[in-house]
């Protein structure tokens, strides 16, 4: 995700000439890697097309980096001046406070029904959808083909095979046989990917936190003993290694294997790294589930433009617009119609491994008001669980206690 701090305003700045004219304000996150592909360009083109057919409606879009966008929206809300729409990382707090329109009050029935089912459910609070998925991705295991070929290796399907491959890569001097980024940038993603591959997760089937489950403790004990403890995760302690640094190392040819999302294809490809992708290895075979991640669109009640917002969002979620955005930023469509179009398109074949994973993916428990606090604690603490001499049971037990307190506070 972009962290460039780009800020732009698109569309009209006022209400125009007639009393019936409306200006809608949208705050959006920047998915670009620089000025050339900033999300400002995507929204500018989309808004131009919409406004040309809707002369009574102007759309002002402010684009902020992922470092800033959630804070910007919160400051607007706290100041009593929320935007009409926000496209950010989480929605549950605002929904629980009664600030958001229900998706069904905004979108036409065909548009709401087009969302992929697991994303719609993830957008619910108390069985009512408030969060509208905007972008999605999944994770697969990337491996360096040249390093594997030189060592005579085949891609792993199980944890034991992954450890054996990592040992062989270490013997050949590979800096990071397996890169395990449990640093504070995105530790929650790597941690959940491993939990799922060990038949665990952050929550149980009843959506209650189960961070210190037997399965999760066994997963992190294995990581500590079989990867980290044997020096197979490189020179930087996993708790200090951020995902961005791990991706950079992979693109530099210094990593044998790591979990990655679609943006790594472009990063590695630009550096000339020949890579392969396989489903996440599991404890006994290919993992039955993988991590899915979604970002969210929401609409605030306070500005009071429900009909105009709904019409604009119907346009935003048209098949063409969802496909255009997904293709521009190597992300997965959040609608069934766009997903089917991508699956059938030769130009999108590079995204096929991720698209295949999406139906079986599991998302963070974003519908829980407590998730923001729990997520922050995971980023701070989870790396300690795999440190030499560390206690997975103790660390995960502490996180479970923190999650219980956060739930009670909510």
How confident is the model over 207-233, as pLDDT tens digits?
A: 899 999 999 999 999 999 999 999 999
Q: If DSSP codes are grouped into helix, strand and coil, which group holds residue 27?
A: strand
CA angle (299 as vertex; 293, 301 as ends), nearest 5: 145
> What is the spatial distance between Cα 218 and Cα 213, in angstroms, rounded to a whole number?
9
More confident residue, 407 or 163: 163
The whole-chain average pLDDT of the chain stands at: 91
CA distances from 32 to 28, 56, 71, 246, 326 (A): 12, 30, 19, 19, 12
Residue 303 phi/psi, 5° resolution?
A: -65, -25
- Of residues 325, 334, 356, the one with CA closest to residue 123: 334
Residue range 64-80: average pLDDT? 92
Please, are residues 332 and 339 in contact by the beta-carbon 8 Å criterion? Answer: yes
Nearest CA among 15, 63, 110, 9 for reference residue 308: 15
Determine which of 14-28, 238-252, 309-323 has the lowest per-residue pLDDT on average.
Answer: 14-28
Provide the token pair at 59. Answer: 């759309």
> CA dihedral defined by 74, 79, 83, 89, rounded to 10 degrees?
0
Please, how many CA atoms are within 13 Å of residue 59, restricted to the half-sphere of its CB? 28
pLDDT of residue 1: 38
Q: Are 182 and 246 in contact (CB under 8 A)?
A: no
Residue span(s) of the chain under CATH 3.40.190.10 come to 8-136+294-359, 140-279+370-409
Q: Any idea which residue has 């095979």 for tokens?
A: 161
Instruction: Read off the pTM.
Output: 0.84
- Higher-pLDDT residue of 115 and 16 is 115
- Residue recorded with tokens 């923190």: 402
pLDDT in tens, 170-206: 999 999 999 999 998 889 999 999 999 999 999 998 8
303 contact partners, CB below 8 Å, separation of at least 6: 24, 25, 82, 83, 84
Q: Which residue has the tokens 């890569």?
A: 169
For domain 8-136+294-359, the CATH class is alpha beta
Write the pLDDT tens digit of every residue in 315-360: 999 999 999 999 999 899 999 999 999 999 999 998 998 998 888 7
- Indicate the SS3 state at residue 9: strand
Instruction: Provide the terminal-to-terminal Cα distance of the chain, rounded to the nearest Å.
Output: 29
136-174 confidence digits (pLDDT tens): 999 999 999 999 999 999 999 999 999 999 999 999 999
Instruction: Please provide the CATH number assigned to the domain covering 140-279+370-409.
Output: 3.40.190.10
Show the tokens assigned to 135: 């972008």
Taking residues 240-253, report their average pLDDT. Answer: 95
How far, in Å, are 228, 323, 340 from residue 332 at the CA level?
Answer: 32, 9, 11
Greatest CA separation found in the chain? 74
């Amino acid at each position: 995700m972009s962290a460039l701090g780009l800020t732009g305003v698109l569309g009209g700045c006022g209400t125009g000439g007639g009393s019936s004219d409306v200006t809608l304000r949208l705050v959006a996150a920047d998915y670009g890697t620089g000025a050339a592909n900033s999300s400002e360009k995507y929204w500018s083109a989309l808004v131009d097309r919409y406004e040309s057919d809707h002369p009574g409606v102007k759309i002002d879009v402010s684009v902020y980096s992922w470092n800033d966008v959630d804070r910007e929206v919160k400051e607007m809300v706290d100041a009593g001046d929320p935007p009409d729409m926000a496209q950010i990382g989480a929605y549950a707090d605002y929904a629980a406070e009664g600030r958001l329109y229900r998706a069904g009050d905004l979108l036409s029935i065909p548009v709401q029904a087009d969302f992929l089912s697991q994303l719609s459910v993830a957008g619910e609070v108390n069985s009512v959808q408030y969060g509208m998925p905007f972008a999605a991705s999944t994770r697969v295991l990337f491996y360096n083909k040249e390093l594997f070929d030189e060592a005579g290796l085949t891609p792993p399907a199980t944890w034991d095979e992954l450890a054996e491959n990592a040992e062989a890569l270490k013997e050949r001097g590979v800096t990071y046989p397996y890169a395990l980024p449990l640093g504070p940038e995105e530790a929650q993603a790597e941690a959940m990917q491993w939990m799922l591959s060990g038949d665990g997760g952050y929550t149980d089937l009843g959506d209650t936190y189960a961070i210190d489950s037997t399965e999760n403790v066994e997963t992190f004990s294995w990581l500590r003993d079989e990867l980290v403890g044997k020096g197979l995760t490189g020179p930087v302690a996993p708790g200090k290694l951020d995902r961005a640094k791990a991706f950079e190392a992979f693109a530099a040819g210094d990593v044998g294997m790591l979990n990655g999302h679609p943006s790594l294809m472009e990063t590695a490809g630009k550096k000339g790294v020949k890579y392969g992708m396989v489903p996440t290895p599991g404890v006994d075979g290919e993992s039955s589930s993988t991590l899915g991640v979604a970002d969210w669109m929401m609409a605030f009640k306070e500005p009071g433009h429900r009909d105009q917002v709904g019409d604009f969002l119907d346009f935003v979620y048209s098949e063409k617009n969802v496909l255009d955005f997904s293709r521009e930023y190597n992300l997965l469509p959040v609608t069934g119609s766009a997903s089917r179009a991508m699956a059938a398109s030769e130009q999108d074949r590079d995204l096929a491994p991720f698209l295949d994973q999406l139906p079986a993916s599991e998302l963070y428990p974003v519908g829980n008001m407590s998730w923001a606090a729990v997520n922050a604690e995971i980023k701070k603490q989870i790396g300690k669980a795999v440190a030499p001499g560390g206690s997975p049971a103790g660390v995960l037990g502490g996180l479970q206690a923190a999650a219980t307190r956060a739930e009670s506070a909510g």
